[in-house]
């Protein structure tokens, strides 16, 4: 990724990094990725969190990133961009949610602040968003509601656009937001008194009013984050027990990850044996030369060349297999295991192919 702001590091493992963590929830098309980009101090269309102008979302899996909140080096954070879904009971959505559940459980230790992104141009609390919120409520319990901020996106905050919206809707932005929050309180028993923010990720930096409103919104979020306690992710998988489709998907992903890890470990052992063969040939060649046995040394060098060719052919096939295995483990959130096993294999492959 090019042109990333200082301190921005895409990652797949957020455990024990000492940072406060922000998780962004919202339907596809609400501007979640643009929001995450500006939260970490990047341009709204930066390549940190892929932004799509197409109907299909660019975010196809849960995305982790370490950054400084709004470029503030004194406030390091982790950002979690999630995928929009419609119905937890549907098999396709169960695949999305199971990936999220396992990635949070295995790759993240806690969440501090939950941002619910809502398209301010069409603020509807429909069934898909309700289902999405209930999943997170189930994952984190009722404390979830104490650390939620509803964020209205896609609302230019210059005076001209504000007056235009007020004329079209016959209500102020705050009146519209308060009606939405009343609807949230009706749908969710603990959803009363939640704070909200207007934040236009695509604001015009040269417009003083838009810049003031953006800075004000970011300041409000920063204060909410500073006051938010960590909610552990250790029990997030329990939400799956209520959904048969989720149980199936999680079981499939965990089994695939387990098999992938076993294969990676087997591969590491096999490559270690190959490395020993190379070392053994090299030791024998060195000893033959020390003993003055030139013919034996040449014969051993020929065998060493053949062994290297055999191993290089094996390595070419293994690289593709390793990539596929890492993807399977990553989909189930077993990122730390990937790092340990794959790094060991990578080191071995380098040794085996080194002349």
What pLDDT, on the 0 to 100 scale, is given for residue 246?
A: 63
Q: Give the confidence band of 24 by pLDDT, cuts at 50, 70, 90.
A: very high
If you average pLDDT over every residue of the chain, what do you get?
Answer: 82
How far does Cα 119 stand from its chain's mean position? 22
Q: Give the confidence band of 118 by pLDDT, cuts at 50, 70, 90.
A: very high
Give yes or no: residues 268 and 191 share one domain: no
Give yes or no: residues 74 and 183 share one domain: yes
* DSSP H helical ranges for the chain: 32-39, 91-107, 127-140, 159-169, 173-187, 208-227, 244-290, 294-331, 335-353
* pLDDT of 259 above 90: no
Residue 201 CA to residue 213 CA, distance in Å, equals: 11
What pLDDT, on the 0 to 100 scale, is given for residue 121?
A: 87
Give yes or no: residues 179 and 312 share one domain: no
Strands 76-81 and 195-198, bridge-based pairing: unpaired
Phi-psi domain of 287 (left: phi exceeds 0; alpha: psi -120 through 50; beta: other): alpha
Give yes or no: residues 258 and 229 share one domain: no
Residue 1 included in any domain: no
Residue 3 included in any domain: no
Which two structure tokens, joined as six digits, stand for 59? 């975010």
**pLDDT tens digit string along 292-323?**
998 998 999 999 889 888 888 887 777 777 77
Residue, of 30 and 337, whose pLDDT is higher: 30
Give yes or no: residues 107 and 203 share one domain: yes
Count of other CB atoms within 10 angstroms of residue 211: 15
Residue 294 CA to residue 299 CA, distance in Å, equals: 9
Q: Give the confidence band of 345 by pLDDT, cuts at 50, 70, 90.
A: low
Residue burial 291-303, b: 16+ Cβ < 10 Å; e: rest: eeeeeebeebbee
DSSP letter for 116, please. E
**pLDDT tens digit string along 200-251?**
999 988 899 999 999 999 999 999 999 999 999 987 766 655 566 666 667 7
How far is the CA of 247 from the CAs of 100, 239, 254, 278, in angstroms?
A: 13, 9, 11, 47
What pLDDT, on the 0 to 100 scale, is given for residue 101?
A: 83
Residue, of 179 and 55, whose pLDDT is higher: 179
74-78, 135-139, 147-151, 170-174: range with lowest mean pLDDT: 135-139
Residue 41: closest CA among 14, 66, 11, 15: 66
**pLDDT tens digit string along 144-202?**
999 999 999 999 988 899 999 999 889 999 999 999 999 999 999 899 999 999 999 99
Q: Which of 220, 242, 264 is the last residue of a domain?
A: 242
Give yes or no: residues 261 and 139 share one domain: no
| 220 burial via Cβ count (<10 Å: 0-12, 13-18, 19+) | middle
SS3 180: helix
CATH code where residue 279 lies: 1.10.132
Which two structure tokens, joined as six digits, stand for 231? 């909610």
Residue 121 CA to residue 24 CA, distance in Å, equals: 19
Which two structure tokens, joined as six digits, stand for 76? 């390091």
Contact criterion met (CB below 8 Å) for 99 and 333: yes
Q: Which of 191, 210, 242 is the last residue of a domain?
A: 242
Cα 183–225–153 angle (5° rounding)? 45
- Please count the structural domains in the chain: 2
Residue 111 CA to residue 354 CA, distance in Å, equals: 44
28-37, 48-57, 218-227, 252-261: range with lowest mean pLDDT: 48-57
* Adjacent-strand bridge partners of 68: 76
Length of the chain: 355
User: To the nearest 10°, the Cα dihedral for 344, 346, 351, 355?
Assistant: 180
* pLDDT of 58 above 50: no
- Helices 159-169, 173-187: inter-axial angle, 10-degree rounding: 60
What pLDDT, on the 0 to 100 scale, is given for residue 98?
A: 79
- What is the extent of the structural domain holding 301? 252-353
């Amino acid at each position: 990724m090019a042109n990333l702001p200082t301190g921005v590091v895409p990652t797949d493992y957020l455990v024990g990094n000492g940072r406060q963590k922000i998780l962004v929830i919202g339907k596809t098309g609400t501007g979640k990725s643009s929001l995450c980009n500006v939260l970490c101090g990047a341009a709204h269309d930066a390549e940190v969190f892929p932004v799509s102008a197409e109907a299909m979302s660019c975010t196809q899996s849960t995305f982790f990133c370490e950054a400084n909140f709004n470029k503030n080096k004194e406030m390091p954070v982790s950002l979690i961009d999630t995928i929009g879904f419609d119905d937890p009971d549907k098999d396709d959505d169960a695949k999305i949610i199971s990936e999220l559940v396992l990635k949070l459980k295995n790759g993240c230790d806690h969440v501090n602040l939950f941002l619910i992104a809502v398209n301010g141009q069409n603020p509807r609390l429909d069934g898909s968003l309700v289902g999405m919120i209930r999943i997170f409520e189930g994952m984190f319990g009722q404390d979830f509601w104490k650390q939620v901020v509803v964020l209205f996106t896609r609302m230019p905050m210059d005076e001209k656009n504000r007056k235009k919206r007020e004329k079209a809707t016959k209500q102020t932005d705050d009146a519209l937001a308060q009606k939405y929050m009343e609807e949230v309180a009706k749908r969710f028993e603990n959803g009363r008194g939640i704070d909200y923010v207007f934040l236009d990720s695509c604001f015009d930096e040269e417009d003083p009013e838009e810049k003031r409103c953006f800075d004000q919104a970011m300041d409000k979020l920063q204060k909410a984050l500073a006051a938010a306690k960590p909610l552990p992710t250790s029990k997030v998988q329990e939400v799956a027990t209520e959904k048969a489709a989720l149980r199936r998907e999680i079981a499939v992903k965990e089994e695939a990850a387990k098999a992938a890890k076993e294969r990676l470990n087997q591969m590491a052992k096999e490559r270690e044996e190959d490395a020993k063969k190379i070392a053994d040939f090299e030791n024998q060649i060195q000893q033959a030369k020390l003993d003055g046995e030139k013919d034996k040394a040449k014969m051993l060098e020929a065998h060493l060349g053949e062994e290297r060719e055999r191993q290089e052919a094996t390595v070419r096939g293994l690289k593709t297999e390793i990539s596929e295995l890492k993807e399977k483990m990553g989909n189930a959130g077993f990122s730390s295991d990937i790092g340990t096993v794959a790094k060991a294999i990578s080191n071995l492959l380098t040794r085996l192919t080194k002349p």
